[in-house]
Structure 1
Amino acid sequence: MSTGNYNTNQTRSFTHLDFKERQLIEKWLNEDVNKAEIGRRLGRNRSTIHREINRGKVEQIKQINGYNKKVTVYYSDSGQSIYEKRRAKSVRKKIVSFSSAFFSALEDAFTKGWFKGKQRLYNIKTFIALYRKKHPVENIPTFKTVYSYIRQGLLSIKPHDLPVMYRLKPRKNQHSNPKGKNKRILGTSITDRPEDVLPRETFGHWEADLVKGKKTKNEPAIITLVERKTRYAITKKISDYKSQTVKNAFEEILADNPNLFASITFDNGSEFSLMSELNTDVYFCHAYASWERGSNENFNKLLREFIPKGKSIHLFSEMDIDQAAQAINKRIREVIGLRSSEEYFQQCSI
Structure 2
Amino acid sequence: MGTTILSFEDRVVIETLHHEKHSLQYIADYLGFSKTTIFNEVHRLAGEYHAVKAQTDHEVKLSHRGRKTILTTNLKRLIEEKIKIQKWSIEQVAHVVRIAYKTIYNWIDQELLDINVTDLPDHGIRRKRAKETRGTFSHGRSIEYRPAEISDRNTSGHFEADTVLSGKRKGQAVATFVERKSRLTIVKRLNGRDSTSMTKAILELANQLGDNLKTLTVDHGKEFANYNLIEEQTGVPLYFAHAYSPHERGSNENRNRVLRRFIPKGQLIDEITDDELIQINWYLNSRPLKCLNWRTPIEIFLRDLRY
Letter matched to residue 305 of structure 1:
R
Distance change in 2, residues 1:307/1:127 (3 Å): closer
Contact 1:225 1:296 in 2 (8 A): yes
Residue 307 of structure 1 and its aligned partner are, at CA, apart by 2.2
1:24 — aligned with what?
A: none
Residue in structure 2 matching 1:149, options 106, 112, 119: 106
Residue 336 of structure 1 and its aligned partner are, at CA, apart by 0.9
Residue 288 of structure 1 and its aligned partner are, at CA, apart by 1.2
Matches within 5 A, 1:1-350: 103-104=70-71, 108-112=74-78, 113-120=80-87, 122-130=88-96, 141=100, 143=101, 145-146=102-103, 149-150=106-107, 152-153=109-110, 156=113, 158-160=115-117, 162-164=119-121, 184-217=137-170, 219-277=171-229, 278=231, 279-350=235-306
Residue 150 of structure 1 and its aligned partner are, at CA, apart by 4.4
Distance change in 2, residues 1:329/1:264 (3 Å): same
RMSD: 3.4
Distance change in 2, residues 1:165/1:302 (3 Å): closer
Aligned residues: 232
Residue 226 of structure 1 and its aligned partner are, at CA, apart by 0.7
Distance change in 2, residues 1:129/1:307 (3 Å): closer
Residue 155 of structure 1 and its aligned partner are, at CA, apart by 5.1
Distance 1:240 1:165 in 2: 27
Distance 2:245 2:145 in 1: 16
Distance 2:86 2:109 in 1: 26
TM-score under structure 2 normalisation?
0.64
Distance change in 2, residues 1:337/1:244 (3 Å): same
Higher strand fraction (1 or 2) = 1
Contact 1:220 1:241 in 2 (8 A): yes
- The DSSP-based 3-state class of the residue aligned with 2:188 is strand
Unaligned 5+ residue runs, structure 2? 1-45, 47-67, 126-134
Residue 259 of structure 1 and its aligned partner are, at CA, apart by 1.6
Higher helix fraction (1 or 2) = 2
Contact 1:205 1:261 in 2 (8 A): yes
Contact 1:206 1:225 in 2 (8 A): yes
Can you list the C-alpha shifts for 1:36-65, whole angstroms capped at 9, x where unaligned?
xxxxxxxxxxxxxxxxxxxxxxxxxxxxxx
Can you list the C-alpha shifts for 1:129-153, whole angstroms capped at 9, x where unaligned?
4455xxxxxxx64x3x436634652
- The DSSP-based 3-state class of the residue aligned with 2:84 is coil
Unaligned 5+ residue runs, structure 1? 1-9, 11-99, 133-139, 169-181
Contact 2:162 2:218 in 1 (8 A): yes
Distance change in 2, residues 1:319/1:104 (3 Å): closer
Contact 1:221 1:239 in 2 (8 A): yes
Contact 1:236 1:318 in 2 (8 A): no
Percent identity over the alignment? 28
Distance 1:147 1:167 in 2: 21
- The DSSP-based 3-state class of the residue aligned with 2:261 is coil
- The DSSP-based 3-state class of the residue aligned with 1:229 is coil
Can you list the C-alpha shifts for 1:8-63, whole angstroms capped at 9, x where unaligned?
xx9xxxxxxxxxxxxxxxxxxxxxxxxxxxxxxxxxxxxxxxxxxxxxxxxxxxxx
2:4 — aligned with what?
A: none
TM-score under structure 1 normalisation?
0.57
Residue 334 of structure 1 and its aligned partner are, at CA, apart by 1.7
Q: Highest Rg: 1 or 2?
A: 1
Distance 1:165 1:275 in 2: 33
- The DSSP-based 3-state class of the residue aligned with 2:85 is coil
Distance 2:105 2:201 in 1: 47
Distance change in 2, residues 1:245/1:167 (3 Å): closer
Letter matched to residue 296 of structure 2:
S
